[in-house]
Structure 1
Amino acid sequence: MLTLAVQAVLLFIVTTIDDLIVLSLFFGRGRGQPGTTRRIMLGQYLGFSAILITSLIAALGAQRLLPQEALAYLGVIPLALGLRAAWRSWRTPDHDDEAQFGAKRVTVTAVALVTVANSSGDIGVYVPVFVTLTGGEVLVCCLIFLVLVAALVLAARWIASRRLIADVLDRWQSVLFPVVLIALGIIILVTGGAFGL
């Protein structure tokens, strides 16, 4: 159970590290507005819940529709996403998340929509992991994820007041995210015996 919890925490961190930067930008944008933390928290929960529910439905469908030996090949998804992220990072190293936001007030809807748009690739990461777990293990992962969403928002609020940290995370997430996704895909492929590995 401890191993599962550690894996869930690491998976959450890897898939949401870019959200940390985006949420920090929301906090910067909403500085001085009453209720900013509440709106960002609610928006993040709504967006992340949509991603989680979609991942659960896709994983359930994959388990029911695909033969057991084919499930290991779902490791190709995070591998491809990692390679794509690495390619994009290499091709366009200078990016500005602030360009996503207008000068409007921070709203629950805006946070939820940006969370879904920014994390839609997470479905491709969660589904291959979920299909390899039992129902109880998936439930534990989901509960850990939901607790960590609050921690993510609070960490973003803290970071928003420390620009140097936000800059460092922004610089390294473009390297860390692809590397971990590629590693996750390879682990799923190898442990599942895909391609005779």
Structure 2
Amino acid sequence: MTLGIIGQAAALFAVTNIDDLLVLALFFARGAGRPRSALRITLGQYLGFAAILLAALAAAFGAAFLPESALPYLGLLPLALGLKAAWRTWKDRGDEDSPDSGRPQDGPGPLEVAAVTFANGGDNIGVYVPVFATTGTGGMWVYVTVFLVLVAVWCAAGRFLATRPVVARTLSRWGHVLLPVVLIGLGLLILVEGGAFGL
């Protein structure tokens, strides 16, 4: 029984978070060579995912932090961060001698990563709530435990992808452009799919 729930939890996590691997790889590439950057990215991923879990648990127990109609507007977070990153990249476009152009000195911060993770998890909340509500308290905590373990696995996989020579070269060369594009695209996708602003 417990092994079955563990397998279901692992499969559910993988299916609902596959898009996070690309975002994590971009964050890890952006923070490459900066002290404690991996720790900050991992902390941000945990903060963002913990917020997703808290919202899903609260809704499963009958209290909602955010009304369902507000979830599509979470797309504004990655959209704003993507526009900020695009502005920084455009502003520093002629500063090719600086390896840090377009990037903060210490790489992405935990709150930036957490905001993107939480905004990208609006659909996760919608999937997790009925699962948590129907699995019972014991099963719910198995899901939560498996999810939290798999966040570490996802962070390791994102870092692994970002450090593969071919991927690392590509992200090193184009990451400053890819990150804003991915964040803006993610934000727009969340807004459009959720019907925000009547889209």
**Match in the other structure for 2:159:** 157
Work out the CA distance in 1 between the residues paired with 2:17 and 2:162.
16
Match of 1:12 in 2: 13
| Residue 148 (str. 1) matches residue 150 (str. 2) | yes
Cα RMSD (Å) of the superposition? 2.7
Q: Which residue is equivalent to 1:126?
A: 128
Could you say if the C-alpha distance between residues 101 and 156 of structure 1 is closer, same or farther in structure 2, counting changes exceeding 3 Å?
farther
- Label 1:18 to 1:100 Cα distance change in 2 as closer, same or farther (>3 A): farther
Structure 1 residues 105-133: Cα deviation after superposition (integer angstroms, max 9, x where no partner): 31011110010111121100100111110
Separation in structure 2 between the aligned mates of residue 110 and residue 57 of structure 1, nearest angstrom: 24
The 5 A counterparts of 1:70-109 are: 99=82, 102=85, 103=102, 104=104, 105-109=107-111
The alpha-carbon distance between structure 1 residues 47 and 100, as it changes in their structure 2 partners (threshold 3 A), is farther
Per the normalisation by structure 1, the TM-score is 0.62
**Aligned mates of 1:41, 1:134 — CA distance in 2:** 29
Q: Could you report, residue by residue, the CA deviation over 1:36-73 in whole angstroms, capped at 9, with x for unpaired residues? A: 110011000100000000000001107xxxxxxxxxxx
Point out where structure 2 has 5 or more consecutive residues left out of the alignment. 69-80, 86-101, 172-199
Q: Distance in 2 between matches of 1:101 and 1:115?
A: 17
Q: Secondary structure at 1:142's aligned position in 2?
A: helix
Partner Cα distance (2:84, 2:25) in 1: 12
Shift of 1:164: 5.5
- Equivalenced residues, count: 135
Alpha-carbon distance in 2 for matches of 1:15, 1:164:
23
Cα distance between partner residues in 1 of 2:155 and 2:142: 21
Please, which runs of 5 or more residues in structure 1 have no aligned partner? 63-76, 78-97, 168-197
Indicate the SS of the match to 2:4: helix
Counterpart position of 2:178: none
Matching of residue 21 in structure 1 with residue 27 in structure 2: no
